[in-house]
Every structure is written in structure tokens, then in C-alpha cells.
Amino acid sequence: MRIAVGGDHAGFELKALLIPWLRSTGHQVEDLGAHQLDPEDDYPDFAFVVADSVRSGKVDRGIVICGSGVGASITAIKVPGVRACLCHDTYTAHQGVEHDEMNVLCLGGRVIGVELAKEILTAFLAARFIPEARFKRRLEKLLQIEKRGLEGRS
């Protein structure tokens, strides 16, 4: 799978540990930064480039790591076509894909350790959207809400 990964200074260390592991499991990983530790960098910059890579189809899924994962999630979800969620457990990571077609996973580098992050990523990357009628119906409603938001309608 093609995966874009990004993280700010608070996610830098966890990102640096996860990228080689992801590659060793056979994934094609695009490291979108940060490429050096800069305490003054900002999570929106990295969350946007990861989300935009998913939106454009350059990658299949994205991973963004900031301090808590909250800011990355809020930023990434603003990109049309991106369904980003903060997940710190395996159930949410696979269920978000299976039921909601989540395509960007956000993690808190100050919240979880590398071993739990690996378990969460394994669940996220192995999951596939379940094309049952109820999930398709809910996804269509979500997409219509996104469309209305982009058109400035409520």
C-alpha cells in the first residue's frame, strides 16, 4: 500500500520509528516531513500535505502524528475527500475504515508508544471498507454534508 506519513516536532520521534517499520512490512512510504526536529514547526503544515496526498490519489492512505493527534485530525478533515480520525486503539482504527472509509489516521506522539502505534497501524492498514448497504448509505450522507459545506450551504 502507498502511504504518506507526516508529523510535526511532537510527532517527530514516533514518525522516525514507524517509517522504517512500515517499509519493512512491505508498504511504500512517502515521508512528507518533518525531516529534522524543529520545535517551532506547526502540525497544520504536515497534516495538510498528507491529507492532500490522499485526496489527490498519490497515496492510498495517510498517517499524521502530532502531540495529541487532535490538531492533526482537525486539520486533515478539512481537506475534501479526506476522512481523518484520531485513533489510539485497534478497534477504532479498523472500524473507522470498515464502516466509514477512513483514509487518514492521526496519532498522538505524546500519548502512545511505538508498540501500540504499530498495532494500531496494522489494524488500520489491513482494514477495508465493508460495502454493506447501511455503511454505503451512511457514507453517502457524510459525502452530501461535505458537499453542502463546500457549497456554503447548511
Residue with cell 457524510: 142
CB of 65 within 8 A of CB of 72? yes
C-alpha 86/C-alpha 112 separation (Å) is 12
**Residue 66 annotated to the active site:** yes
* Residue 66: Cβ within 10 Å count: 33
Locate the DSSP E strands across 74-151: 84-86, 104-108
Of 11, 142, 118, the residue nearest 71 (C-alpha): 11
Q: Which helix (H) or strand (E) holds 66?
A: strand 61-66
Of 65, 76, 72, 75, the residue nearest 113 (C-alpha): 65
Of the residues 66, 85, 87, 106, only one is catalytic, namely 66
**Residue 9 annotated to the active site:** no
Residues annotated as catalytic are 66, 99
